[in-house]
Structure formats: C-alpha cells, structure tokens
Amino acid sequence: MLQNLSYFTSNNAKLERVSSLFTHISIEFRFFTCSLTDPSLKPHKDLSSFNFNGIAHSVISKCSHFFDKKEPKRRNFLYDASFKMPLLDISDVIPHVTRRFLRVLRLKPEDVLEMLLGFQFECERVAVKSTKVESLWEIFKCANEQDKGFRHFPKSCEVMASILVRHGMFREAQLLLLAMERQGISMDSSKIFVSLIEGYVGVGDLERAVLVYDQMRDRDLVPSLLCCRALVDLSVRMKRTQLAFRVSLDLVELGISVSEGENASFENVVRLLCRDGMIREARNFIRKLMALGFEPSSLVLNEIALGYCEQDFEDSVRCFAEMKCSPNVLTGNKILFSLCTGFGVERANLFRLKLEHLGFMSDEVTFGILICWCCRERKLSGAFNYLSELLSRGLKPNIWCYHALISALFKEGMWEHAQDILDEMVDMGTAPVLSTFKILLAGYCRARRFDEVKVVIHEMVNRGLIESSALEDPLSKAFMVLELKTLSVRLKRDNDVEFSKTEFFDNLGNGLYLDTDLDEYDKRVAGILEDSMVPDFDFLVRKECSNGNFKVAYSLTGEMARWGQELSLSVVSALLKGLCTPRSYIKLCSSLLEKMPKLVNQLDQEVLNLLVQAYCKIGLTHKGWLIFNQMLQRNLTINSETFTALIKGLCKKENLRNLHDCWDFALNGKWLPGLVDCISVVECLCHCGMLKEVLELLERMLVLNPESRLKVLHIFLEKLSLTGFSSIAHLFVEELLQHGCALDQIAYSHLIKGLCKEQKYKVAFAVLDIMLARKMVPCLDVSLILIPQLCKADKLQTAIELMENVLRVQTTFHSDFTKRFCVTGKAGEAANIFQNMLSKGLLPDADIYNMLLQQFCHTKNLKKVRELLGVVIRKTASLTISSYRSYVRLMCLEGKVDYALSLKKVMVQESKSASIILYNILIFYLLTAGESMHVKKVLNELQEEGLVLNEVTYNFLVYGFSKCKDVSTVMHYLSTMISKELRPSYRSLSTVITFLCDIGELDKVLELSREIELKGWILGSIAQNAIVEGLLFQDKVEAAKQFLDRMVYKGLTPQSISYDNLIKRFCCLGRLDKAIDLLNVMLKKGNMPSSTSYDSVICGFCSRNQLNQAMDFHAEMLDRNLKPSINTWDLLVKQYCQQGQPAEAAKLLLSMVQVGETPTRLMYCSVIDGYRMENNPRKASELMQMMQQSGYEPDFDTHWSLISNLSNSSDKDYNKSSQGFLSSLLAGSGFSSKKDLNAKLG
C-alpha cells in the first residue's frame, strides 16, 4: 500500500501517517475538535441583522460575462483584423466560398451575394446552427460599413432576410427590412414579409406580426392565405376580435379564393364576433365569404342564431332562410327554451314549425321542452298532444317529460292518473329515480292520499333508494324525504262527533287531519311539484357541487346543453373550483370553458387563479398564459401561487419571451414563492440559464423572509452548484463573506460539491481551507468526493484528516472509501481497507467484492483474482456483468480459456434471463484471443440451449472472425445478420471491410457496400477510406471518385469523418478537385482536416502554378491554427520568387517568424536574389540583416553582388546611409571597420 501511495509525497512522516490510518482506523482524532454530528458545526446564524438589498446587483456586476447578452461590437473590415472570425466561423458551412475572402480587406457586393446564396443552399440541404447565421449577419452588416459607397444588391437583402427568418432571428430580419426601406431598396416579393409574419406568429408575438403585416399592406403586397390564416388564428386565440376581423376582411376584399382547409379560420372569426355581440357584422361577413364560395358550417350558423336569439328571433329565421339551412338541434332547442321562458310555449311552437319548414329536425328534448312548459303553464292537454307527436315520430320521452306530466296531474288534482304515467314510463324502459318518487310523495301528500304515500315508501325501500326499519312509521319517513320534518307534521284522527277538524277520510271511514302549519305544508309540497315540471339544471349542478360530486355535476352540463339552458356564474365558479383540485379533472375545466366561452370574462380572480395553476400543472401552459393575460387586462389580482405555477410551466416549455414578461409582472406584483415552490422555481430558472433572475429571486427571498434566510441560502446554493453554475454560487458566497455574513457547514458543502462536479478543484480546495479555518468540516458525501482529489493534488495531510474524521464518525463509510479507491484505480489501498473491514467483523456488500475483483483483473493479479472469486462464490454474493467481463477478458488474454468457460457455466446457472449477455461477452473475448474453435463450441451450446443470437452477438462474431482472418465465416454471419434486418455496427463493418480490402477481396467489398447503400445505412469513416484506398490501389480512380460522390449525394457520410489520407492520395494522383471536395466535406461535417491535407492541396496548386488558390488554402490553414510544413513554406516562397514577386515572398518569411517557424537559408537567399533581380538593394539589404539575425551567413557572391548594387544605386537618400549599412553588413560578416582596426592595433 505504501508503494502505491508513494507518488503523493516524499515525506516519510506522512507516509507513516497514511499507513497507520488505513491499518488502525480508530486512531485518535487530532485535528478536529468535534464530530460532524456536533451541533456546533451547524450554526444556524441569526441573519436578520444583515441588509441584503442590492446584493444581487453587486454579484451580477462582478460576473457580467454571464449576463451580457448585448449584440457584439461590430467589426470594421478596414481596421480590425478580427473580421476574419465570422468568416472563419461560417467557413465550415461554405468553405469553397469563404476561403477566397480570408485574405481580402474589402468585400464587394457580389462577394456578399455569393456567400449568401451559398449559405442559403446549404441551409436548405442540412441543419445549420443559429450561431452560424449570427456570424453571417455580422459579415453582412460590417460589409455595409466598409465605406459610404458600398451598397448591397437587392437580391442580397432578400436572401439575408430569408435566412434570418428561417433561423428565428425575426428582430434582425425586421431591422433589415426597415433599413432597405430607408435606402429605397424595393422588394417585389412578399415572401420575406410572409415568412416574418409566420415566424412572429409561431412565437406568439402578435404585436410585431401585425406591425409587419401593416408594412406589407402599405407596400401593396398581397399576403398569402396561409400567412393570414396564421395571423387570424393567433388573433382568435388571443381574443383580439377586431384584429382578426380586419385581417379576414382584407382577405375577402382581395378576392382570395377560399378552400375547404381555410374554413375553420374564418368560422372562428365569425364565432368570435358573435360572442362579442357583433351579430350583424358576423352576418355580413358570412355573406361576403359565401360570394367567394365559402360554405358556412352549422356551428357558425348556430352561433349567429344564438346571437339573434338574444336580440330578434324573427331575424334569426330570416337569416336561416337566407342561408337555406337550419340550426342544429342544440341551437334549436336553446332558441325554443328561450322563447318558452320569455314568450310562452305557443310562440315557441310556432317558431319550431318555421324551423322545421327550413329542415330542422326536432328530437325528444325539443318536445320535452314543449311538454314541460305546457305543464308549467297548466296546459295539460297541450302537453299530451306533444307527447303523442313525440311518440308518433318514434322518439322516446326522457325522464324529465314524465316528471313534468306527473307533477301537472297532481297540480290539476288528477292524482289517480299519476300511477298510469309511472307505469308507462317503466314500460318505455325508463327506470324511476329518487326524484321521481319524491314527486309522487309530494303529489300524494298534497292530495292527502297517505295510503298511497305508504305504498310509495315501501317501493322506495324495495328499490334500495332509502333505508327504513320495520318499526319506523312510513309517513314519518315520507315527511323526512320531502324535508318536511322541520314542520313537525303529524297525522291525527278527529274524534269529534261532528268531525270539525276532519280534512279527509281513510279507507275505514275515519276522519283524519294534519296537525301542522297547513299553509306552509301546502306551499312546500306544491313547490316540489312546481320545480319538477321544468328541470333546473343550474340547481341540480349546484346541488351536486355542494355534495362534492363534481364529476357528476360536470356530466349534467351535457344534458343541460341539450335542454338549451345555461349555468349561472356562481355555479360555474363552484364547479370550476371543484374540477381544478383533482389532477384528473383539470381537462374537464378546459372542456367546460370551451362550452361557455363568454363566462371566462366574468369569472372572479379566485377562480381564474386556480385555472392558471391547474393548466400549468398538467402542461397546458399556453392556456394558462391566455387566462393570465385576460386577468391582466381586467386588472385582477394574481396571487403568488399562480405566478409560481406559470413561471415553472413556461420554463419547462422553454418559452423565454413569455417567461421574461411573466417574471417582470411577478416582481411588480410582489410575488414571493414559498420555500417548497422556491426549490422547483430555481431549478427551472437554472435550466433556462436565467441566472440574473435567480439572483434577483434570491435577494427578494432573503429580504422578505428574514426568519428563513439560512434555508433560502441552502436552497439557492445547492441548485446553482448542482446545475453547472457553481461559479455564480461562489461569487455570491464571497459577496456574503465580504458583508460579514457567516455561513454554515451545509452552505459550504453545497458549494464545494458543485465545484467538484465541474472539476474546479482548486477553487473547491480554497473553499475547504476557509471551512477548516472556521473549524468546520464538509458533509460526509462531500468529504468522500474531496479525499481522492486531495490525494491527487498532493494535499495528503488534509486528505488524511478528512478521512480520519469521516471514519471516526461512522465505520460504515469503510465501504465508501473502498469504492472510491477502486474507482480511482488504487487497488492496494482498497484492499487494505477491505482487510480492515474484515478484521473489525464488518460484512462488505456485493458491490465491494465486485469492484475489488475488477481492479485485480485490471492489474492482472491472477492470484488475488482467484482468491477473491472463490470468496464471492462461497459467500453466494452476486457477481455483476462487469466483474464477469473483466474476469473473462483476463482469462482469455492469459490463455486460461477453461477458467472463463467454467465461470460462464456458473453464471448461466444463476441467471437464465441474462445468459445471452454472458455468451456474448465470452464470444467476444474468445475471438479477441484468437480462440475461434472454442467459439464454435459455444455457438453449438447456444443452439442446444435454444437461445437466439441477437444483434450484439452477430456484431461480435463478424468483428471477431475478421480479426481471426476467417473470410467464409465472416461473410456467413454478416449476410445472415443483414438478411435478418439487423444493422451491423460501425466497428463491425469497418473491421470486415478493412480485412477484405487487405486480402484483395475488393469485389466482395463493393457488393457489400451496394447492399449497405440500398438499406440507407451509413458506412463509417474507416470503412469508406478502406474502400476508396482499395479502388485507388487497383488504379480505379474514377470508381473511387464516383463512390465518394454517391456517399455525399445520398447523405451517407457519417458525422465524424476523416479523409486526410484520401486527400493526400488524390493530390498525388493529380485529382486536386476531388481532394478539395473531400476537404470541404470534412469541414461541413465539423471535422478539422490535418495540416498534411492542406499541405497536399497547396502543393497541388503550386504544381499547376495556381499560386493565388494555394495562398487561399494557406491563409485558411493559418486561421485554423494549423502549421504548414517547412516544405510548404519553401514551395510558396519559391513560387513567388519565380513569378517575380519577392515582396510577397518576404511577407511569407515574416509570417513564418510570427508563427514561430524559422525560414531556411535557401528561402532567404531566394528572396534576396529576387530583390537583386529587381535592382532593389534596400529591400535586399534589410532581408540580409533579417537572415543574419536568424543565424545564417550569406555567401561571398551574395555579399559582393549586394555591395556592387549599393555602390551603383541611383537612390540618393539610400546612398547617404549606405556607408552605415555596409559597415554593419561587413561587421556582421566578420570584417572590422578602419576605426575598429586602429583600436585593435593600438
């Protein structure tokens, strides 16, 4: 163990300390004065005295790089060399275009257009990141600022706007359109405006969508139907009636033909108009639409009809006559019910007959309404006439009709016929319910037929509707059912000879009378009969809500709609409150509101708050947001729970625009979440990266929750640290410490845990030092994270003390330390702790056995492996798949195959379900070790066991037999696999294709490749390279090119691809165009070509004397931080010198020095010779000095030639200084001046 730890430190005392620690875990604790469980280590500070106002702003100002979302400063192409950055950023999208502009200082309008068109083409082919579009937009803006004379082509503006809209940069696109308008650039096409409107609609920004729409209309551009439909639909969702109506009218006035697919949008507008009371506008709009071929649905006509019902019934009939249609049954029944309520049943029936003339089909509810209202108006004969017509049409009366008829008979004193109606009702298949018997009881009590009352009570008991004992008086029970008990009703016999009190006689002739308040008694029973004539669904729903039966109450709303009734606002509110509470009922709320859209604007703030919370709870955040906006428009109070639910919902939907708006409203509304809600809110905000808002909320919670400040700190520090923002948490902690705020162990532990998770160990150690200085230690889980890292950082003393403390607190943490050491590869230390556990009588769990076994396998300690495996098997501990894999791998590599087979047998007996996995592992490592004969035996065993080979098995077989060079077996399993529609892995295909190419089986490879192509499977980088290399080896260059072209065309190029070798090969073969294509493919896939690839391409261009193209690749190479080879530099320098451009060659030499390369002597001489040929001794002499500074000495001919040129130079100014230059030149070459010579001689 000491040897394994020796790298930590060279101090013998420390090593002895470590050894003692692991062998004697219970050693006395020297450093810490108290344990982790000591309350003194958890000081709940009273932070009420601290002023937290402004702390969020202070932290934000110190880490502005996290929050600064402003536009990057615009770059100037004339003065700022960083203009290459956006060009380089988009170069992996259009490398063939951008590399020509990396060396230019100015862009021409045609250059920008070329980039834009190329970028647009790529955007239509593949997904392009928005950051690339931002860089393109930056180039577009900067190009416009090069000089006053620069002017983008109109086509460039259109393409740029199109790209911006396509990638959701709507604000930038709108700014571009405004700039075009100011510059007088006309845009004939409406496509950009349409796309921009659709984009704004897509993100729910109605205001900006309307603004663009108005700009479009001002330019006399015609919007598309799809665009207007999207704008109308959003306006309808946002309940913006006037706007939806205006856009719809624009479409109608433009004469756009209306297809069936667009009917819904216009119908929604009509419905919105009707609900806002704009009936005449809706009707006129329908007329205009019908002129364009629009056929209104019954739903639209019903909305208009219902609107007319509230104003003029005759107008509604005329409307239906004009439209040559009739309302549906729901609308018709609602109209009839309204007529019955306001004008009586006779007028309602006349209206029904007019509607039926137009095609209206009355149903059983239609006649039920008429029957019920006839009974209420005491027109019993009319009720029976309607009942007769109902039956003659083959319709079935519902229970409400029978209730009305029975009640009416009792009211008319015809109680003896009530039983006939009841019998007919039962014969028609309608079972009586409690309310039916309640009507019978009321009627018989009113008629003083108490014998019949007793019969009814007996029937109710038999049907299980009520419970009654044999001793209970039936009449008393009847009075209880009718809720007459408060009147103390008693039936008495009149014993007076003259029967002065007698009201009625029984069957025996006894005179009887009721001992109660008869007026109140008659009023109540008459009221029951009166209420039963016309069903009052509002009352019924209210009753069910008061009993808590909200689902039953909701079901009644369906029947209520059929009867043309509406719920009162108070009942709707009660029902919605009840449905909002259970999660399973929330969707019923949405359905209820859709049935009664007008009531939403009448609901109080309590109900609306509950609705928003309920919608957000089940993920319908968009509906909650709409109600939230309506509450804002009505200036209603929004409670904290609503803000919390909405913020969480918007975070989950990642609707950042609405989230920011909601956040501002919440802060202005004095929102303060509870501690439990605070946890989820902070998690959501961190997930969306809204750190500024997190800190604002933290400050708000600290200021307004003085009694819970420590808990608040714990919540925020934990969430910030564990969501990847430990740096922000650290800054906040530092700010608190600067303000004198003392934190506790938990706060520091959260911070350290987050820092370690982000691998910021140095910062974590610094925080740990602060804790230790304050006599605190981290929590146990944090200590377990810190100790291995402290050891790696050579902070052994701190690690020892932390470990002492942890082990002193709880011995069960031996297991954790053992696992930690196993994870970090310290098998020796893990073994020592394991032995210590056993010596203390502690029982290690199965995880420890498995982790130790894996570590010993990794270190190839066969002795320890066998010992530990024996212990595991004896103790019947479960061996994991990872341990089995490690053991089998070791045994196969060491040639001990029998051991691997034996363990497989044991494992298979233990777990039948996982046996195929065990066989797969064994097969893989057997083939890896070259034991193909054993594999065939294992496969036979698999067949005997009835196990089916899966995808993993086939991949292992293909890969393994390829390694074993067994062609026939490889092709057998590969073809079998493909025939079973099992997709080979990249590794399997790459291995088999490489193997076949190596042995010259190219025909088989090409056949396999075609089969893979047909299935649309992608060949990996290695496989593609192997195929092309094989084709090139056989001089099939054109076939290799076609293969690569086909891969790109079919989109079968993998994301991770490397063509470096092929690029070099194609350059050598003179196919420079194909080499460049492959290099571009790599860049577009996000893969960086090697410097060798660029060197090869540059060499190819130089061989063709295409120096300009070579320099384009050279510039790109340097911008990508790739270093050209010395040969490449030399080649370029020679090319410039040969073309008589020594100045450009000299620039290359300077570039070499700047990137840390040293030009060769030959390079210097070539450039100097070039200057000499130009008769430019000044430049030649400067370069000579540079050459000498690099450690090279020019030869005599170069010296003499340069001196001669200087003597004959006609440059007077240069001649004046030539003497000084000659002196330095000669001195640098080993010659001394005359003055220096005299000094030496003297």
Looking at residue 719, what is its pLDDT? 84
Interacting residues of 265 by C-beta distance below 8 A, sequence separation 6+: 229, 232, 233, 236, 248
Looking at residue 509, what is its pLDDT? 63
Q: Do 822 and 851 contact (CB within 8 A), yes or no? A: yes
Q: Do 695 and 59 contact (CB within 8 A), yes or no? A: yes
Domains in the chain: boundaries: 75-188, 324-397, 400-534, 536-598, 1125-1241
Amino acid at 832: N
Q: Count Cβ atoms below 10 Å from residue 1008 Cβ, excluding itself.
A: 23
Which of these, 242, 179, 231, lies nearest to 209 by C-alpha position? Answer: 231
User: Which residues make beta-bridge pairs with 491?
Assistant: 514
The residues of the chain scoring below 50 in pLDDT are 1-45, 69-82, 810-811, 1210, 1212-1222, 1228-1242
Which of these, 19, 82, 223, lies nearest to 828 by C-alpha position? Answer: 19
Looking at residue 33, what is its pLDDT? 26
CA distance 438 to 478: 9
Query: CA angle, corner 1052, sides to 1051 and 1056, nearest 5?
Result: 105
In the structure encoding, which two tokens stand for residue 1134, read together? 């020679």
Query: CA angle, corner 117, sides to 111 and 122, nearest 5?
Result: 130
CA distance 448 to 651: 69
Q: Do 567 and 575 contact (CB within 8 A), yes or no? A: yes
In the structure encoding, which two tokens stand for residue 1052, read together? 């079968």
For residue 505, the surrounding DSSP H or E stretch is strand 504-505
pTM attached to this predicted model = 0.59
Interacting residues of 359 by C-beta distance below 8 A, sequence separation 6+: 325, 326
Amino acid at 1049: Y
Which of these, 212, 135, 142, lies nearest to 167 by C-alpha position? Answer: 135
Q: Do 351 and 317 contact (CB within 8 A), yes or no? A: yes
Looking at residue 1214, what is its pLDDT? 46
Which of these, 359, 298, 310, lies nearest to 334 by C-alpha position? Answer: 310
Looking at residue 14, what is its pLDDT? 41
Which three-class secondary structure state does DSSP give residue 876?
coil
Helical spans, DSSP H, in 725-811: 726-738, 745-757, 761-773, 780-792, 796-809
CA distance 1128 to 1095: 6
DSSP tag of 217: H
Looking at residue 346, what is its pLDDT? 92
Q: Do 404 and 533 contact (CB within 8 A), yes or no? A: yes
In the structure encoding, which two tokens stand for residue 1146, read together? 């000299």
Looking at residue 37, what is its pLDDT? 31
Sheet containing 504-505: give its strands across.
490-493, 511-515, 504-505
